[in-house]
Structure 1
Amino acid sequence: METLLRLLQETVQISLLVAIMMILVDLLNVFSRRKLESFFKNANKFRQYFFASLIGTIPGCVGGFTNVSLYIHGIISFGALAGSMVAVSGDEAFVMLAMFPKKAIILFAVLFIIGIFSGWLIDAFVKKYKIATCENCEEMVVHGHEANIKHYFIEHIYGHIIKKHLWKIALWTFGALAIIEFGLQYLHLDKFTSQYKIVFLFVGALVGLIPESGPHLIFVTLFAEGLIPFSVLLTSSIVQDGHGMIPMLSYSLSDSIKLKFFNFVIGITIGLLLFIIGF
């Protein structure tokens, strides 16, 4: 009972911090949404890679959704979108900021840099091998101007943040904490992770293919407990993109598969290199 109460307390604390951060990010998105398209319209490729990845580092699903919308409208390239998805950490970003803020910021910075270079590299690869992209894309519907504060609270804070995201984050956080606690006490998880770290790197990449926020929290919690190295967390973070891929799946399954393939290869390659040198 004591362990259960402690896990519930940790879950509530993390979830409250996550809720505050999600609301702040959503406010930023509402006030800046209309300015993004005009900013990107005449942008050169490097600006696309830089700012798409920068948008991708915004915690939550906002960055992923925004970049998918820009891609669907033909405003950013396939490489810029793929690079931005490397930088995306999904709703797990909020949990990382709550659990290990300094290391989380370092992780986001690394993902941002990898995202920029990945965008350039993927576009060059797509151009060289004449890979078709955005064949079945349609224009994404963009919501109109938010009518008033009441509308914002009902549609955004309750309808989106609480109803769609926050309760799932709380459940996944509690589940991840409980799994680690149980594993440490009864399954000697600390010994297993120390002996088979490389296995967790590949498993993290495979779990990252799931277009959903939540599963990645297992690796976030393992890292927070010091059970896996940075390279494993980075690999999982590169491949996964939270809910960001969901709207892309509905517009172009082909592009979604290509994008996840590129990011999986990048995640495994960079993760293995860092793992070999001891990170």
Structure 2
Amino acid sequence: MNELLVVLLESLRDGYVQVSAFVAVTVLAFGLLQYWTDGAVIGAIEGNERLQVLFGGILGLTPGCGGAIVVMPLYVRGTVSFGTVVATLGATAGDSAFVILALAPEAAVYAYAIAFAASVATGYLVDSVGLGVSRVDAAVAQLSPTATPDGGTAVDGGIRPNPAHDYGGPAPTHAHESGPDRHSRVLTPLSHFAHVLWWVTAVSGLVLGTLYLLRGGPEVALVADFGFDGLFTVTGIVGAVLSLYLYAVGRHYVGEGEIARARDSFASAYDTLTHAAMETSFVTVWVLVAFLVYEYFVLLSGVNVATLAATAGVLAPIGGAAVGLIPGCGPQILLASVYAEGGLPFSALTANAICQDGDALFPLLAVDAKAAIVATIYNFLPAVVVGVALHFLWGPVFGMAEFGFGVL
């Protein structure tokens, strides 16, 4: 029981400091951009169908998952293509990017550039050919058009492989249009206080998380004192608990009752901060679930996923891609740390970079699990192809087959 409790507390701590604090910054940055441009960014993505896939890849390429997270609700809303989702998830660098950028910047440039190119190409292929997208959309969006034999969709008398999604009913409502859905003399001010305190812990977590990465991701003791380990532990657990509160209770009394939705614009800077906190809290809940499932699986089974991915030969990139199938950034951060220590070849890192979806997959999983699974499968295939090609063809020529390529 003591060991199970330790895993719980460490997952709460690590999930917040190592993941949520960085997600908060990227989501807030995008939100502030939306606030300053009055929604022009999302409008540009939604209004340029031919460039949506490219825009999605660029957003996914930003370190962390904030840029990619904002694309998922756009698909649910029916304003971006499924290929855009595939490109975004495939290019997503996730929070493991912070580890590689800090410890192996040269490897990061090559790996994420290859991932971006492969993912954008896959996204355009999905949109141009169809690849069963209409069947995925029908499960969630309840498309009114009928599917064609080639996997496309009949629209307006014509056939398009992957048209813009057209919901048969009214557009999904967004709680932020009417504000919080409840008011309480106690819970409303308490929720506002929790929101402000959450940002204090987020800033502290960002500083501590950055120091943690710069130190090479060392083991952090589960203690409560004024040293680095103590501040890391207290900040992480407090931030995680506040995230759980905002997700379960606070969002109904401050900000918005419905989350996992991209904003078109924001009324104020505080409104922008509130939205970023609610979105990050939503992701935090899923990250904690993923951390706990992963950690308890390793604890109870004795299996080390990263060790399996480090198998010599061509199994290494396949193993890296397989680890990328696991939602969330925890396993990916672990794999990145193993690479930085010289335990994996570059082909495995690149395959993982293409296949991993980071925390961006969680909002889509919550709303449309089938679409999330199909998008992950679509990215797994090019991840294996590129990883194996790096192992056999390009790796030996450019020295990328070596363990520790680009590590400082």
The TM-score normalised by the length of structure 2 is 0.51
* Structure 1 residues 126 and 98: CA distance shift in structure 2, 3 A: same
Which whole-Å deviations, capped at 9, do the CAs of 1:52-104 have from their partners, x for residues lacking one? 10000111120221110221122210011101111002111112222122321
| Identity percentage of aligned residues | 24
Name the CA distance, whole Å, in 1 between partners of 2:317 and 2:74: 32
SS of 1:196's equivalent in the other structure is coil
Supply the distance in 1 between the matched residues of 2:337 and 2:356 (Cα, whole angstroms): 16
Distance, in Å, in 1 between the alignment partners of 2:41 and 2:357 is 21
Q: In structure 2, what is the equivalent of residue 94 of structure 1?
A: 98
In the alignment, which residue of structure 2 is the partner of 1:9?
none
User: Deviation at 1:275?
Assistant: 1.1
Equivalent-residue separation in structure 2 for 1:119 and 1:132 (angstroms): 17
CA separation of 1:85 and 1:72: change in aligned 2, threshold 3 A: same
Matches of residues 1-279 of structure 1 in structure 2 within 5 Å? Answer: 25-33=26-34, 34-45=39-50, 47-126=51-130, 129=132, 131-134=134-137, 135-137=139-141, 139=172, 141=174, 154-156=197-199, 158=201, 162=205, 173-174=217-218, 196-277=312-393, 278=395, 279=400
Q: Alpha carbons of 1:77 and 1:268: their partners in 2 closer, same or farther (altered >3 Å)? A: same
The separation in 1 between residues aligned to 2:337 and 2:372, in whole angstroms, is 28
Contact 2:23 2:65 in 1 (8 A): no
Give the 3-state SS of the residue equivalent to 1:228 in structure 2. coil
Distance 1:117 1:153, change over 3 A: farther
**Matched AA of 1:36:** V
Whole-angstrom distance in 2 between the partners of 1:175 and 1:270: 33
Q: CA deviation at 1:21?
A: 6.5
Cα pair distance change 1:96/1:245, threshold 3 Å: same
1:112 corresponds to which letter in structure 2? F
Shift of 1:243: 0.9
Deviations 1:136-191 (A, max 9, x none): 1484858689xxxx98754456369949x959x87x94469xxxxxxxxxxxx99x
SS in 1 for 2:318: helix
User: Would you say the 8 A contact 1:23–1:157 is kept in 2?
Assistant: no
Q: SS at 1:243's partner residue? A: helix
Residues 275 and 118 of structure 1: CA distance in aligned 2, closer, same or farther (over 3 Å) = same
Distance 2:342 2:18 in 1: 22
Alpha-carbon deviations, 1:226-263, whole Å to 9, x = none?
33221110111111111111110111111111111111
Letter matched to residue 115 of structure 2 = L
1:31 positional shift: 0.9
Could you list the per-position Cα deviations for residues 179-220 of structure 1 after superposition, in whole angstroms to 9, with x for gaps in the alignment? xxxxxxxxxx99x95x71322222222211111111112321
Between the aligned partners of 2:376 and 2:19, the Cα distance in structure 1 is 27
Comparing 262-271 with 29-38, greater Cα deviation is found at 29-38
Q: 1:261 to 1:140 in 2, by over 3 A?
A: farther
SS at match of 2:328: coil
Is 66-75 or 16-25 further displaced after alignment?
A: 16-25
Q: TM-score, normalised by structure 1?
A: 0.72
Q: Hey, what's the Cα distance between the residues in 2 that align with 1:250 and 1:22? A: 18
Q: Which amino acid aligns with 1:43?
A: N
Secondary structure of 1:244's counterpart equals: helix
The residue aligned with 2:155 is none
Q: Give the CA deviation at 1:19.
A: 9.2
Q: Distance in 2 between matches of 1:160 and 1:139?
A: 33
- If each structure's helix is expressed as a fraction of its own residues, which one has the higher value? 1
Q: Number of matched residues?
A: 243
Q: Displacement of 1:49 after TM fit?
A: 1.3
Instruction: Say whether the 8 Å CA contact 1:57–1:89 is kept in structure 2.
Output: yes
Structure 1 or 2, whichever has the larger Rg, is 2
1-side partners of 2:112 and 2:387: how far apart? 15
d(CA) in 2 for partners of 1:142, 1:175? 41
Q: CA deviation at 1:132?
A: 1.8
The letter for the 1-side match of 2:32 is: F
* CA deviation map 1:33-59 (0-9, x unaligned): 3332211232032x1111110000111
